[in-house]
Amino acid sequence: MMLICIENIEDILRSKFRKQVVDQGIKDAVKFLQQWLYLSSQVTRLHGAALARVQIPDIQYLLAEIAYGECGFGNKDKIHSKLLTNLINQSVFACFITQRLNNSVVHLFEETVIGLSNMSQDEAIGFIVGLEAPAYQILQLLREALVGVGISDIEVLKSEYFVIHYDVEKEHQKSGSEAMDIIMDSGFELSKIYKGGDKAINFLTQMIA
Protein backbone atom coordinates (compact mmCIF):
# COMPACT_ATOMS: atom_id res chain seq x y z
CA MET A 1 0.00 0.00 0.00
CA MET A 2 1.47 3.33 -1.10
CA LEU A 3 0.86 6.08 1.48
CA ILE A 4 1.48 9.42 -0.20
CA CYS A 5 0.04 11.93 2.28
CA ILE A 6 -2.41 12.30 5.17
CA GLU A 7 -5.28 12.93 2.73
CA ASN A 8 -4.47 9.60 1.09
CA ILE A 9 -4.64 7.91 4.50
CA GLU A 10 -8.01 9.53 5.23
CA ASP A 11 -9.42 8.32 1.90
CA ILE A 12 -8.27 4.76 2.61
CA LEU A 13 -9.78 4.85 6.10
CA ARG A 14 -13.09 6.24 4.84
CA SER A 15 -13.23 3.54 2.19
CA LYS A 16 -12.64 0.84 4.81
CA PHE A 17 -15.36 2.28 7.05
CA ARG A 18 -17.78 2.43 4.13
CA LYS A 19 -17.18 -1.23 3.25
CA GLN A 20 -17.32 -2.50 6.82
CA VAL A 21 -20.14 -0.35 8.20
CA VAL A 22 -21.99 1.89 5.73
CA ASP A 23 -22.45 -0.71 2.98
CA GLN A 24 -23.67 -3.26 5.54
CA GLY A 25 -26.42 -0.89 6.73
CA ILE A 26 -27.94 -0.53 10.19
CA LYS A 27 -29.36 -3.84 11.35
CA ASP A 28 -30.70 -2.65 14.72
CA ALA A 29 -31.37 1.10 15.09
CA VAL A 30 -31.90 0.87 18.86
CA LYS A 31 -28.59 -0.92 19.42
CA PHE A 32 -26.76 1.45 17.07
CA LEU A 33 -28.07 4.51 18.92
CA GLN A 34 -27.42 2.99 22.32
CA GLN A 35 -23.78 2.35 21.46
CA TRP A 36 -23.27 5.67 19.68
CA LEU A 37 -24.77 7.56 22.64
CA TYR A 38 -22.30 5.84 24.95
CA LEU A 39 -19.40 6.63 22.63
CA SER A 40 -20.57 10.25 22.38
CA SER A 41 -20.56 10.56 26.17
CA GLN A 42 -17.02 9.14 26.45
CA VAL A 43 -15.26 10.29 23.28
CA THR A 44 -13.36 13.14 24.93
CA ARG A 45 -11.50 10.48 26.94
CA LEU A 46 -10.06 9.26 23.65
CA HIS A 47 -9.00 12.80 22.75
CA GLY A 48 -7.45 13.14 26.20
CA ALA A 49 -5.54 9.86 25.87
CA ALA A 50 -4.20 10.96 22.49
CA LEU A 51 -3.36 14.41 23.82
CA ALA A 52 -1.25 12.81 26.55
CA ARG A 53 0.90 11.17 23.86
CA VAL A 54 1.41 14.28 21.69
CA GLN A 55 4.44 16.46 22.31
CA ILE A 56 3.90 19.23 19.74
CA PRO A 57 1.99 22.20 21.25
CA ASP A 58 0.20 23.15 18.03
CA ILE A 59 -1.27 19.65 17.70
CA GLN A 60 -2.04 19.57 21.43
CA TYR A 61 -4.07 22.72 20.86
CA LEU A 62 -6.02 21.22 17.97
CA LEU A 63 -6.84 18.04 19.90
CA ALA A 64 -7.91 20.07 22.93
CA GLU A 65 -10.09 22.26 20.70
CA ILE A 66 -11.92 19.20 19.32
CA ALA A 67 -12.52 17.88 22.85
CA TYR A 68 -13.68 21.31 24.02
CA GLY A 69 -16.21 21.39 21.19
CA GLU A 70 -17.57 17.99 22.24
CA CYS A 71 -18.04 19.48 25.70
CA GLY A 72 -20.15 22.36 24.39
CA PHE A 73 -17.42 25.00 24.23
CA GLY A 74 -17.85 25.68 27.95
CA ASN A 75 -21.65 25.46 28.01
CA LYS A 76 -22.61 22.28 29.86
CA ASP A 77 -26.11 22.37 28.34
CA LYS A 78 -24.53 22.09 24.88
CA ILE A 79 -22.47 18.98 25.61
CA HIS A 80 -22.98 16.86 22.51
CA SER A 81 -24.06 13.71 24.33
CA LYS A 82 -26.72 15.75 26.17
CA LEU A 83 -28.01 17.20 22.91
CA LEU A 84 -28.15 13.72 21.44
CA THR A 85 -30.04 12.44 24.47
CA ASN A 86 -32.56 15.28 24.06
CA LEU A 87 -33.11 14.18 20.46
CA ILE A 88 -33.36 10.49 21.33
CA ASN A 89 -35.93 11.27 24.02
CA GLN A 90 -38.37 12.11 21.23
CA SER A 91 -38.46 8.41 20.33
CA VAL A 92 -40.85 5.89 21.90
CA PHE A 93 -37.78 3.63 22.17
CA ALA A 94 -35.84 6.15 24.29
CA CYS A 95 -35.98 4.04 27.45
CA PHE A 96 -34.31 1.14 25.62
CA ILE A 97 -31.70 3.31 23.92
CA THR A 98 -30.62 5.04 27.14
CA GLN A 99 -30.47 1.90 29.28
CA ARG A 100 -27.21 0.40 30.55
CA LEU A 101 -24.91 -0.94 27.85
CA ASN A 102 -23.66 -4.47 27.43
CA ASN A 103 -20.47 -4.90 29.49
CA SER A 104 -18.53 -6.12 26.45
CA VAL A 105 -18.96 -2.73 24.74
CA VAL A 106 -17.82 -0.87 27.84
CA HIS A 107 -14.85 -3.23 28.14
CA LEU A 108 -13.91 -2.60 24.49
CA PHE A 109 -13.94 1.14 25.09
CA GLU A 110 -11.85 0.92 28.27
CA GLU A 111 -9.30 -1.33 26.56
CA THR A 112 -9.11 1.15 23.68
CA VAL A 113 -8.38 4.05 26.04
CA ILE A 114 -5.59 2.03 27.64
CA GLY A 115 -4.21 1.04 24.25
CA LEU A 116 -4.30 4.63 23.01
CA SER A 117 -2.51 5.79 26.14
CA ASN A 118 0.38 3.48 25.21
CA MET A 119 0.61 4.29 21.50
CA SER A 120 3.47 6.19 19.95
CA GLN A 121 2.86 9.86 19.19
CA ASP A 122 2.48 9.07 15.47
CA GLU A 123 -0.06 6.28 16.10
CA ALA A 124 -2.04 8.39 18.58
CA ILE A 125 -2.37 11.18 16.03
CA GLY A 126 -3.39 8.58 13.44
CA PHE A 127 -6.06 7.24 15.77
CA ILE A 128 -7.71 10.67 16.00
CA VAL A 129 -7.39 11.07 12.22
CA GLY A 130 -9.21 7.74 11.94
CA LEU A 131 -11.96 8.82 14.32
CA GLU A 132 -12.60 12.00 12.35
CA ALA A 133 -12.22 10.62 8.81
CA PRO A 134 -15.72 9.04 8.52
CA ALA A 135 -17.51 11.82 10.43
CA TYR A 136 -20.02 12.65 7.69
CA GLN A 137 -20.67 8.97 7.02
CA ILE A 138 -21.44 8.48 10.71
CA LEU A 139 -23.80 11.48 10.74
CA GLN A 140 -25.72 9.95 7.86
CA LEU A 141 -25.94 6.58 9.65
CA LEU A 142 -27.08 8.37 12.79
CA ARG A 143 -29.74 10.22 10.84
CA GLU A 144 -31.02 6.92 9.40
CA ALA A 145 -31.07 5.29 12.84
CA LEU A 146 -32.99 8.17 14.43
CA VAL A 147 -35.59 8.04 11.67
CA GLY A 148 -35.66 4.27 12.21
CA VAL A 149 -36.80 4.73 15.81
CA GLY A 150 -39.67 6.98 14.83
CA ILE A 151 -38.23 10.51 14.84
CA SER A 152 -39.15 12.42 11.68
CA ASP A 153 -36.33 13.36 9.34
CA ILE A 154 -37.30 17.03 9.62
CA GLU A 155 -37.04 16.90 13.42
CA VAL A 156 -33.66 15.18 13.16
CA LEU A 157 -32.20 17.72 10.76
CA LYS A 158 -33.46 20.78 12.63
CA SER A 159 -32.37 19.42 16.01
CA GLU A 160 -29.66 21.32 17.84
CA TYR A 161 -27.47 18.23 17.79
CA PHE A 162 -27.46 17.99 13.99
CA VAL A 163 -27.25 21.73 13.33
CA ILE A 164 -24.23 21.98 15.62
CA HIS A 165 -22.62 18.83 14.26
CA TYR A 166 -22.73 19.88 10.64
CA ASP A 167 -21.07 23.15 11.68
CA VAL A 168 -18.63 21.46 14.07
CA GLU A 169 -17.54 18.89 11.50
CA LYS A 170 -16.58 21.74 9.19
CA GLU A 171 -14.41 23.13 11.98
CA HIS A 172 -12.98 19.67 12.67
CA GLN A 173 -12.09 19.33 9.00
CA LYS A 174 -10.38 22.73 9.15
CA SER A 175 -8.50 21.71 12.30
CA GLY A 176 -7.62 18.44 10.62
CA SER A 177 -6.15 20.28 7.64
CA GLU A 178 -4.06 22.43 9.97
CA ALA A 179 -2.89 19.31 11.81
CA MET A 180 -1.95 17.67 8.50
CA ASP A 181 0.28 20.61 7.57
CA ILE A 182 1.99 20.42 10.96
CA ILE A 183 2.33 16.64 10.72
CA MET A 184 3.88 16.77 7.26
CA ASP A 185 6.33 19.45 8.44
CA SER A 186 7.29 17.49 11.56
CA GLY A 187 8.61 14.31 10.02
CA PHE A 188 6.00 11.87 11.33
CA GLU A 189 5.92 8.41 9.78
CA LEU A 190 2.90 7.97 7.52
CA SER A 191 2.93 4.21 8.08
CA LYS A 192 2.52 4.72 11.83
CA ILE A 193 -0.21 7.33 11.35
CA TYR A 194 -2.03 4.86 9.10
CA LYS A 195 -1.59 2.10 11.70
CA GLY A 196 -3.24 4.30 14.35
CA GLY A 197 -6.02 5.29 11.97
CA ASP A 198 -6.68 1.68 11.07
CA LYS A 199 -7.04 0.86 14.77
CA ALA A 200 -9.60 3.68 15.05
CA ILE A 201 -11.68 2.31 12.16
CA ASN A 202 -11.58 -1.18 13.68
CA PHE A 203 -12.68 0.32 16.99
CA LEU A 204 -15.56 2.22 15.41
CA THR A 205 -16.64 -0.87 13.51
CA GLN A 206 -16.77 -2.92 16.70
CA MET A 207 -18.51 -0.14 18.62
CA ILE A 208 -21.38 0.64 16.29
CA ALA A 209 -21.68 -2.04 13.59
In SS3 terms, 68-93 reads as HHHCCCCCHHHCHHHHHHHHHCCCCC
pLDDT computed for residue 40 by the predictor:
96
- Whether 62 shows a pLDDT value over 90: the answer reads no
Which of 59-63, 122-126, 177-181 has the least mean pLDDT?
Answer: 177-181
Which of 78-82, 93-97, 182-186, 202-206 has the least mean pLDDT?
Answer: 182-186
- Whether 186 shows a pLDDT value over 60: the answer reads yes
CA–CA separation, 70 vs 72, rounded Å?
6
Q: What is the tens place of the pLDDT at every residue in 22-53?
A: 999 999 999 999 999 999 999 999 999 999 99
Domains delineated in the chain: 15-208 (1.20.910.10)
